[in-house]
Amino acid sequence: MDKLKDKVAIITGGAGGIGKGMAMAFVKEGAKVVIVDLNEETGNEAVKELQQYQPESMFIQANLAEHDKLKRIVDQVVAQHGKLNILVNNAHASKNKPFVETTREDLDLSFDTGFYPTFYLMQAAIPHLKETNGSIINFASGAGIQGHAKQAAYAAAKEAIRGMTRVAANEFGKDGINVNLIAPIANSPGVQQWAKEQPEYYQEVVSNIPMQRFGELEEDIGPAAVFLASDDSNYITGQTINVDGGSVKF
Ligand SMILES: NC(=O)c1ccc[n+]([C@@H]2O[C@H](COP(=O)([O-])OP(=O)(O)OC[C@H]3O[C@@H](n4cnc5c(N)ncnc54)[C@H](O)[C@@H]3O)[C@@H](O)[C@H]2O)c1
């Protein structure tokens, strides 16, 4: 239960969904977790749960689309805990629309909440991760890898994140930093929302998952994230790990 003992981790979007699942898995392995999220109410609730396992867990309320404030988040965490070992860029907001109806605004939402925060937080974190031989976990999606219909804005930002991740893996391997991606499928509130809006599409998606179910937030995605954040994965970098019940085969 101490694979991440005393490691300091930032998890964006950690107040709910996969982010909270990973945060719970991390504190149970001994990490000090800082969740960063837009939602103050769920953030305050989540941090109380985390503190039951790790009293030094923190919640920072922030809108990741405010890019000029992102470096301050990293600075605040390092000032509080003295170091940073793990950065998990998990939060991402986007809208699904037919390709020809996708607007600049839709592209901006996806890039402003997904790609740019990942980029700026990596830039701010890397000097500290060099000190700790730390880890970065970014978030990809089968929607980007396979090019799911009606997800142009989302898929574009996700694949931009994958490209940048591979570049960072090449640039910072010599510093002992590993940079990987998780492409998940999991039953988050975001997924539950679109399941309500498009129940037939949801059923179709489930029937196309070889394991015939959405993953569990903490039990299925959590252990993969713990592995990529722990010393067990020190020689793995630049990879996309599909934690998706077998949906993506390449
Ligand atoms: N759930 C899936 O099946 C699935 C599939 C493929 C990829 N993903 C990816 O996994 C990651 C997590 O997905 P999820 O389903 O748990 O998401 P979610 O929508 O359920 O939760 C996202 C969290 O991010 C926070 N957030 C959203 N916008 C923010 C902003 N501007 N600033 C700060 N916080 C913000 C939300 O408040 C929420 O707590 C995302 O990168 C997503 O694209 C998820």
Q: For each of the chain's 250 residues, which pLDDT tens digit applies?
A: 899 999 999 999 999 999 999 999 999 999 999 999 999 999 999 999 999 999 999 999 999 999 999 999 999 999 999 999 999 999 999 999 999 999 999 999 999 999 999 999 999 999 999 999 999 999 999 999 999 999 999 999 999 999 999 999 999 999 999 999 999 999 999 899 989 988 998 999 899 999 999 999 999 999 999 999 999 999 999 999 999 999 998 7
* 13 φψ region: left (φ > 0), alpha (ψ -120 to 50), beta (else): left
Residue 57 lies in a domain: yes
Q: For residue 170, report the distance from its CA to the centre of ligand 1, in Å.
A: 27
Spacing, Cα 17 to ligand 1 middle (Å): 7
Q: How many distinct structural domains can be found in the chain?
A: 1
The residue range of the domain holding 160 is: 8-187+217-241
Contact between 78 and 124 (Cβ < 8 Å)? no
In a domain, 207, yes or no: no
At residue 228, the pLDDT reads: 98
DSSP 90: -
Pocket flag, ligand 1, residue 43 (CB < 6 Å): no
CB distance 190 to ligand 1 below 6 Å: yes
- Which residue, 62, 56, 65, is CA-closest to 83? 56
Residue nearest ligand 1's atom 25 by CA: 13
Tell me, what DSSP letter sits at residue 63?
Answer: -
Q: Report the nearest-CA residue for atom 1 of ligand 1.
A: 186
Q: Are 3 and 230 in contact (CB under 8 A)?
A: yes
User: Is residue 122 situated within a structural domain?
Assistant: yes
- With a 6 A CB cut-off, is 188 part of the ligand 1 pocket? yes
Is residue 235 assigned to a domain? Answer: yes
Specify the CATH number for the domain of residue 27: 3.40.50.720
Residue 197 included in any domain = no
d(CA 174, ligand 1 centre) in Å? 31
Binding site membership of 27 for ligand 1 (Cβ less than 6 Å): no
Residue 205 lies in a domain: no
Residue nearest to ligand 1 atom 23, measured at CA: 13
* Among 7, 5, 10, residue whose Cα is nearest residue 23: 10
Q: Confirm whether 141 is domain-assigned.
A: yes
- Rounded to a whole number, what is the distance in angstroms from the first to the last CA of the chain? 32
Q: What are phi and psi of 42, to 5 degrees?
A: -70, -30
Residue 204 within any structural domain of the chain: no
Provide the edge-to-edge strand list for the sheet that holds 58-61: 58-61, 32-37, 8-12, 86-89, 135-139, 178-184, 240-243
Cα dist from 159 to 11, 199, 217, whole Å:
20, 27, 23
235 is catalytic: no
CB 16 near ligand 1, within 6 Å: yes
